[in-house]
Structure 1
Amino acid sequence: MATTDRQATTLALAHALTAAERGLAVIPLTRTKLPALRSPHRDNPAAPVCHGECGRFGHGVYDASTDARRIRELFAAAPWATGYGIACGLPPHHLIGIDLDTKSGTDSSTALRELALRHLFTIPPTVVVLTPSGGRHLWLTGPPDVAVPNSAGRLAPGIDVRGAGGYLVGPGSRTEHGVYGAAPGTAHLPPAPCPRALLRLLLPPPRAASRTGSGTSTAGHGQGLVQFVLAAHEGQRNTRLFWAACRAYENGLGPALIPALIEAARGTGLSEREARATIASAARLTRGRG
């Protein structure tokens, strides 16, 4: 068994290095598809939020890298790893994963076809990864200034989405249920651009400004957006800030609410520079919608 695990780790590292050569940032995973390295801060709940600034491994997708030396170090620190995860939302591909599940008892492939017919888009030829349970992962790329959030079943029953802060199990990974592998004829394809109509569906829907008898109520809505950002957990902060900023701009609150959103984002651990960059992306997207 130990020999088998060592072989699985060696193969996983080889596949991870190959993925990194294509510009895909990777981390080692266990047989349960979880990050192989635990947080170095797990025994200190009062520790400040850390995305790897401490210099140690164990920060999930924030450890992800395309650097071969760092990847070897990650796997050397996790000799029990039997797979690897590919971080979504990072340059140069800004990967978006469409996970067509089979375990929910729904026909997710049919659901995606119905969405495509209803919203007039076609999934272009792209990388398709087959899962041990019979599901499929479709790899798409998104615009560099749009953060697609992770979701489960929101697009349609049985369809999960992996976006910013999420990861996909890479082909060649061995899990408790079997091996992930690229579908025939797709392994060497580049991830295809996400159709614009599908991209709109992947982003949270805009909310109209609430109205009262005396006109538009913006103060309460703005405070709700600030609280939404403040409630973000690790891995959600950029996504929540992006969503809140989009809603603020759509409702005409953007300029007035920016300082409060930046302050809220800093309270969750983002730097002011990160917060301003995310808000600027939201401003560009909402201008494009207009």
Structure 2
Amino acid sequence: MMATVGAVASVLTRMDGGSPLSAAARELASAGVPVFPCFPGGKRPLTEHGFHHNTTDPGQVEAWWRQHPDANIGVPTGAASGVVVIDVDVHGPVDGFGAFEHAHRAGLVSGWQFVVSTPSGGMHAYYPATLGEAQRSWQAASAGIDFRGDGGYILVPTSVVVSNGAAAGYRVRRINTGPSSMLDSDRLRDFLDPRPTPRGPASPDVAREQDVSRLAVWVASRGEGERNRGLFWAACRLAENDVPASDALDVLSAAASDAGLVEREITATIRSAYRTAHPRTRDSSSPVQGSSPPAVDGWFARDTTRRSPSRVREL
């Protein structure tokens, strides 16, 4: 069941930056927003079944943060929490602010509820989830934009990430005092990263097996020790059904990141799966072309210098 629309915004926009993580977790759960603990200073879930193990039960939330008082707060995106998030990435040569501003001028990303500055120097823009409509997570890596919807999760204020000895937190940066609106995530994806529709499987049995939404959710739920193997298996299934390697990378990257893999591992595993499924396929069909820049650590592993506040004010 979807949390009350606006519940996440109501809690996070009134939380003091110095509030204990346990207090923010309790407030969210009390408002009907499911939460789960993540490693202190990190982004990986502490729970056995990852972000799928979330709850609004006050007793369980109290027990989690009593045991791990510095645990960061994870919230599943999509129908479960009532929010979807545009994650603007900044890493290496990729700066998602330009793509976000381009989409803003096209009228595709207006109506956010509030904006959060992230430890990497990027931002999260929160929107109400669309009632009764699935909004699957996706990644437009070349644009520096990830969409966190069904099958994804985010860390929320007042979580803190530590990288290279430096700590930086998530904090609410701007609140929209006007009306918010639901996001057409499919239209945004087509605008940022247009792709041809992958050719469908040949039979109903294969169609059920290769349902990409279920594959992505399954990959995201893999625990440590089975993440690479699970991603390899899913990529092989797509390869065997003639889904282009670039589409497989797009479909599975966000899910594999949620499972804790970094971008370099993800691209290497998918590339290996396609070589295994199509051993005579030329290297040019792999998701990473020889002329492409080398992969960099993904959203769950990289923490760069924070961006100046002026970039958010320009939106």
Q: Which structure would you say has the larger Rg?
A: 1
Q: State the match for 1:19 in structure 2.
A: 28
Q: State the match for 1:76 in structure 2.
A: 66
Aligned-residue Cα RMSD (Å) equals 3.6
SS in 1 for 2:136: coil
Letter in 1 for 2:49: H
In 2, distance between residues paired with 1:145 and 1:17? 27
In 1, distance between residues paired with 2:36 and 2:81? 17
Q: Which aligned pairs between 1:117-136 and structure 2 lie closer than 5 A?
A: 117-118=105-106, 120-136=107-123
Match of 1:183 among 158, 169, 173: 173
C-alpha distance 32-64 of structure 1, shift in aligned 2 (>3 A): same
SS in 2 for 1:65: coil
Q: State the match for 1:109 in structure 2.
A: 97
C-alpha distance 87-122 of structure 1, shift in aligned 2 (>3 A): closer
Task: For residues 149-197 of structure 1, give each alpha carbon's deviation from its aligned partner in whole angstroms, at most 9, with x where no partner exists.
Answer: 222325x5211111112111111112203111111446x999x43233x
State the identity as a percent: 25
Letter in 2 for 1:178: A
Q: Work out whether residues 130 and 182 of structure 1, in 8 Å CA contact, stay in contact via their aligned partners in 2.
A: yes
C-alpha displacement of 1:20: 2.6
2:157 equivalent to 1:171: yes
Q: Work out whether residues 148 and 202 of structure 1, in 8 Å CA contact, stay in contact via their aligned partners in 2.
A: no
SS in 2 for 1:183: strand
Letter in 1 for 2:84: I
SS in 1 for 2:146: strand
In 2, distance between residues paired with 1:202 and 1:71? 35
Gaps of 5+ in 2: 1-18, 223-233, 239-315
2:161 equivalent to 1:161: no
2:75 equivalent to 1:89: no
Task: For residues 189-212 of structure 1, give each alpha carbon's deviation from its aligned partner in whole angstroms, at most 9, with x where no partner exists.
Answer: 99x43233x4433489783878xx
Match of 2:197 among 191, 195, 207: 207
Match of 2:208 among 210, 214, 226: 226
Match of 1:66 among 56, 68, 75: 56
Task: For residues 87-129 of structure 1, give each alpha carbon's deviation from its aligned partner in whole angstroms, at most 9, with x where no partner exists.
Answer: 1123461x211100112433312212223444x4341141211
Q: Work out whether residues 91 and 144 of structure 1, in 8 Å CA contact, stay in contact via their aligned partners in 2.
A: no
C-alpha distance 116-174 of structure 1, shift in aligned 2 (>3 A): closer
> After TM superposition, where is structure 1 displaced by more than 6 Å over at least 4 residues in a row?
203-206
In 1, distance between residues paired with 2:197 and 2:21? 44
Q: Work out whether residues 165 and 236 of structure 1, in 8 Å CA contact, stay in contact via their aligned partners in 2.
A: no
C-alpha distance 189-22 of structure 1, shift in aligned 2 (>3 A): farther
Aligned length: 197
Letter in 2 for 1:149: R
C-alpha displacement of 1:14: 0.9
Q: Work out whether residues 32 and 175 of structure 1, in 8 Å CA contact, stay in contact via their aligned partners in 2.
A: yes
Q: Which aligned pairs between 1:229-248 and structure 2 lie closer than 5 A?
A: 229=211, 233-235=218-220
In 2, distance between residues paired with 1:135 and 1:158? 10
SS in 1 for 2:22: helix
Q: Work out whether residues 159 and 170 of structure 2, in 8 Å CA contact, stay in contact via their aligned partners in 1.
A: yes
- The two structures have a TM-score, normalised by structure 2, of 0.52
Letter in 2 for 1:88: T
Letter in 2 for 1:109: F
SS in 2 for 1:25: coil
Letter in 2 for 1:73: A
